[in-house]
Homo-oligomer: A and B are copies of this chain.
């Protein structure tokens, strides 16, 4: 679209906290490993309703969605990426929060086009604006492609991540 084509129907990417209406799209992204899951095919179990509500009311947790196609006609757009951020208060770093990112997802049919970078960069900027001293995340050791991606974003691969299932 030419830059001078006027304001209508300008496709945009918006990063914003998820609302309850986004929950099927978010769960579809979480379920979508290799191919797109249609949110319309999902039944939202009550346990996920409750988990979403718990995140939604917590001032130190949020699910952010990257929405494509929001335009000035009021089109609601389509969720093409998501992640969860937990803002952790602490006694180090002058009492500043750190931002922990979990569950980064980009729609299977939209990977490789830079959406992940936009999702991460805007999330990092949001954490910076909030006053966080650090952004941290872990990534499975098998995900070498993801590790290069986080390296390009400026992250240092300085730690090992340990998990214990209960």
A contacts, CB < 8 Å to B:
26-27, 30, 47-48, 50-52, 54-55, 58, 60-61, 63, 84, 86, 88-92, 94-95, 100, 102-103, 124, 127-128, 132-141, 147, 150, 153-166
Give chain B residues whose Cβ lies under 8 Å from the Cβ of A155. Answer: 162-164
**A94-B47 contact in complex given A58-B60, A60-B58, A89-B54, C-beta closer than 8 Å:** yes
Give chain B residues whose Cβ lies under 8 Å from the Cβ of A30. Answer: 91-92
10 A-B pairs with least C-beta separation: A159-B161, A51-B95, A155-B162, A138-B159, A47-B95, A54-B89, A135-B164, A161-B161, A155-B164, A150-B162
| Copies of this protein, total | 2
Measured CA separation A158–B138 after assembly (Å)? 9
Q: Contact: A160 with B163, CB < 8 Å? A: no
**Which of B27, B154, B165 contacts A134 (CB under 8 A)?**
B165
**Which of B91, B102, B134, B147 contacts A52 (CB under 8 A)?**
B91
**A61-B88 contact in complex given A136-B162, A166-B133, C-beta closer than 8 Å:** yes
Measured CA separation A100–B139 after assembly (Å)? 15
Give chain B residues whose Cβ lies under 8 Å from the Cβ of A103. Answer: 90-92
Give chain B residues whose Cβ lies under 8 Å from the Cβ of A128. Answer: 166
Measured CA separation A138–B141 after assembly (Å)? 13
